[in-house]
Amino acid sequence: MEGKVAVVTGGAEGMGKALAMKFLEQQAKGVAILDFNEEKGKATVQELQNQYGDDKVLFVRCDVKSKVDMEGAFDQVMRTFGHLNVVCNNAGIYDEINWEETVDTNLKGVIRGTYLAVQHMGTKHGGDGGIVINTASSNGFIVNPVSPVYGTTKHAVIAFTRNVANVLRHRCCSEIDNGIG
C-alpha cells in the first residue's frame, strides 16, 4: 500500500475502520473514509490522524445511496490526494423492516462505488488501474430465514462483483470498460 490512496465506504467504525487502519499501517499515502455518520467519522479520522498524520486521512460525509454524495466524495478524494488506487465498498446496513434502505445501501451503493472506481482508476480515463474490494457477508453464501432482504443483497454483491470482474477481464462490455456504468 506504500504510496497508494484508498477509499473506504462505511469507514467510521467496524470492518471499514479496521481496513483504513491496515492501509495506513502499510504506509498508504492517504485513506478517505466515507460515511454518513459524521460524528463517528470525525472521531475516527481524528484518532487516525493522531496516529498516522493529518495529511494521510480524509473524512467525507457521504451517503452511498446518493449519487451526488458519492460523485462529490470521489472528486474530493482526487482533489486531496491526486489519484486513487483502492476502493473498498464496505458500507452496509441490516434492516429488514426498511428493506428499501437495505437494498439501496448494500447493493446500489456497491454498484455505484464500483463504477466510480472504474471511472477514477481506469486506464482509459488517465488512471493507473487499481483494486476494488466489495464487502459481502457469509449471508451471501447461505440462506437465512430471518434476514431475506439482507441476505439477498449480499448474494447480489457477490454475483455483481464476479460479473464485473469477468467483464473487465475480458473487455467485453464497453459501457463498464469506459466507466459509464
Provide the annotated active-site residues: 150
**What ranges in the chain are assigned the alpha helix state H?**
14-25, 38-52, 67-81, 99-103, 109-121, 148-170, 174-177
Residue 36 φ then ψ, to 5°: -80, -20
Q: What is the largest CA-CA distance in the chain?
A: 46
Residue corresponding to grid cell 428499501: 100
How many Å is the Cα radius of gyration of the chain? 16
Q: What would the grid cell of residue 37 be? A: 455518520
DSSP state of 104: I
